[in-house]
Copies of this chain bind each other. A is one copy, B any other.
Amino acid sequence: MDFSLSPELRALRDKVRQFIAEQVIPLENDERQSHHGPSEALRDELVARGKAAGLLTPHASRAMGGMGLTHVEKAVVFEEAGYSWLGPTALNIHAPDEGNIHLMEEVATPAQKERWLRGQVAGDWRSCFAMTEPAPGAGADPSMLDTTAVRDGDDYVINGRKWFITGAEGAHYAIVMARMEDGSATMFLTDMGRPGIVLERNMDAMDSCFTGGHGVLRFDNLRVPASDVLGEIGKGFRYAQVRLAPARLTHCMRWLGQARRAHDTALEYARKRQAFGKPLAEHEGVGYMLADNDMDLHTARLHIWHTAWLLDQGEKCNFESSRAKVVCSEAEWRVVDRSVQILGGQGVTGETPVMRIFTDMRAFRIYDGPSEVHRWSMARKLVHMAENAAAAKEVA
């Protein structure tokens, strides 16, 4: 057992930390942001800074232009990047691109990679992942997929509606999940400029850290050539799993950085602000909250590291990534909520970054499957494992 980071990884961590502090945080109050997120111009500047620092898209393979980080290395780097809400954009490791890049690396053909992935790794463009649908379609339950793809000559014709499509506005290409006539699902690649793709509107969301916001897309007879199918026909749900288990974990990593930022901000305030005769931090009630923050941060980090290490060993980690997702999203949320409480009025206004972190993070308990879906999935697996163990015992 070994919890140490290699000297190289520590050096990389420190480099990212310094980059965020010096190159990214100063841009947090930049006006090129709306309640839908950083503008494309601000994104471009962030990406340029990340590239100049030699830190862009570090999780992509070396072949595609990245640094080929392992999962454990990602755990360390992404947490640092997450310390600013602009950090993941600056490193090109934000959702959904981070997960899309991973999926493309695993499943796309060499030609598809050259066409869509290489430029994305270089920071030249963004992508979106079109899976979630309005009722009665696919939400927390992906099997309710309503968007259809029908073969027509060498093409597939796609019809349906999607929403909560992060980064849709301004994306260069999309990965679209659609249902086949036999009930299976397939993933399609498409440039966003193709006829038949309509951005109906951008949703008014609580968070504001994603360039492009969250769009509502409609596909009106969108034609996609068979050569643009991602992977094999009918394997959409399987690929969604390929994408989701690590994507869940990278969410945990980035938000851990945000939670740490909130805690640091609250701790700094508590050290300095006087009330009832002494600094806030010397009030036991506040001290307990700071201690609880530290416990939750460390718990989240340990779950992330352990699951990342398992992924690096080649495990699929469906169970473990569900567990890490619930533990981290809830622990990190508690940290941010407590930090708001310590900050008092400053926690619910733009006087500190914590208000922003608070509203950005609430959705994390829902994204990538709400806690409830993961708890239930874990429960079934626990029962299943117990049944197998009992059966094995009886045989023996």
A interface residue numbers (CB < 8 A to B): 1-5, 35, 72, 132, 135-136, 139-141, 143-144, 163-164, 203-207, 214, 264, 267-268, 270-276, 281-288, 290-292, 294-295, 298-299, 302-303, 305-306, 309-310, 323, 326-327, 340-341, 344-345, 347-351, 355, 358-359, 362-363, 365-366, 370-372, 374-376, 378-380, 382-383, 386-387, 390
A140 with B275: in contact, given A3-B309, A295-B323, A349-B206 (CB under 8 Å)? yes
A298 with B303: in contact, given A141-B275, A271-B383, A275-B141 (CB under 8 Å)? yes
A394 to chain B, nearest CB (A): 13
Counting every copy of the chain, the complex holds 4
A288 with B375: in contact, given A295-B327, A303-B298 (CB under 8 Å)? yes
Additional 4 contacts, C-beta under 8 A, given A204-B350, A294-B378, A302-B303: A2-B309, A139-B273, A205-B355, A295-B323
Return chain B residues, CB-CB under 8 Å to A295. 323, 326-327, 378
A310 to B298, CA, bound (A): 14
Contact between B375 and A292, CB atoms less than 8 A apart: yes
Interface of A: prevailing SS: helix
A275 with B144: in contact, given A299-B302, A302-B302, A327-B299 (CB under 8 Å)? yes
A270 to B340, CA, bound (A): 30
Contact between A284 and B281, CB atoms less than 8 A apart: no
Across the interface, name the chain B residue whose C-beta is closest to A143: B276
Question: Could you pull out 5 A-B pairs where Cβ atoms are within 8 angstroms?
Answer: A139-B345, A140-B275, A267-B383, A281-B383, A290-B382
Across the interface, name the chain B residue whose C-beta is closest to A276: B141
Return chain B residues, CB-CB under 8 Å to A382. 267, 290-291, 294
Contact between A140 and B365, CB atoms less than 8 A apart: no
Across chains A and B, which 4 residue pairs bring their CB atoms closest together, nearest first? Answer: A287-B379, A204-B350, A284-B284, A302-B302
Instruction: Point out the residue from B144, B268, B291, B365 that lies within 8 Å of A379, measured CB to CB.
Output: B291
Contact between A347 and B366, CB atoms less than 8 A apart: yes
Contact between A386 and B271, CB atoms less than 8 A apart: yes
A102 to B370, CA, bound (A): 45
Return chain B residues, CB-CB under 8 Å to A306. 3, 298, 302
A387 to B344, CA, bound (A): 21
Across the interface, name the chain B residue whose C-beta is closest to A333: B337
Return chain B residues, CB-CB under 8 Å to A323. 291, 294-295, 298
Instruction: Point out the residue from B305, B309, B372 that lies within 8 Å of A286, measured CB to CB.
Output: B372
A215 to chain B, nearest CB (A): 11
Contact between A274 and B362, CB atoms less than 8 A apart: no
A362 to chain B, nearest CB (A): 6
Across the interface, name the chain B residue whose C-beta is closest to A387: B271
Which of A140, A285, A379 has the largest number of chain B CB atoms within 10 A? Answer: A379
Return chain B residues, CB-CB under 8 Å to A386. 264, 267-268, 271
A386 to B268, CA, bound (A): 8
A359 to B35, CA, bound (A): 14
Contact between B287 and A355, CB atoms less than 8 A apart: no
Across the interface, name the chain B residue whose C-beta is closest to A264: B386
A13 to B61, CA, bound (A): 39
A31 to B111, CA, bound (A): 48
Return chain B residues, CB-CB under 8 Å to A264. 386
A128 to B326, CA, bound (A): 42
Instruction: Point out the residue from B144, B268, B362 that lies within 8 Å of A340, measured CB to CB.
Output: B362
Contact between B371 and A362, CB atoms less than 8 A apart: no
Contact between A366 and B348, CB atoms less than 8 A apart: yes
Return chain B residues, CB-CB under 8 Å to A287. 375-376, 378-380, 383
A376 with B344: in contact, given A274-B144, A276-B141, A383-B271 (CB under 8 Å)? no
A266 to chain B, nearest CB (A): 11
Contact between A284 and B204, CB atoms less than 8 A apart: no
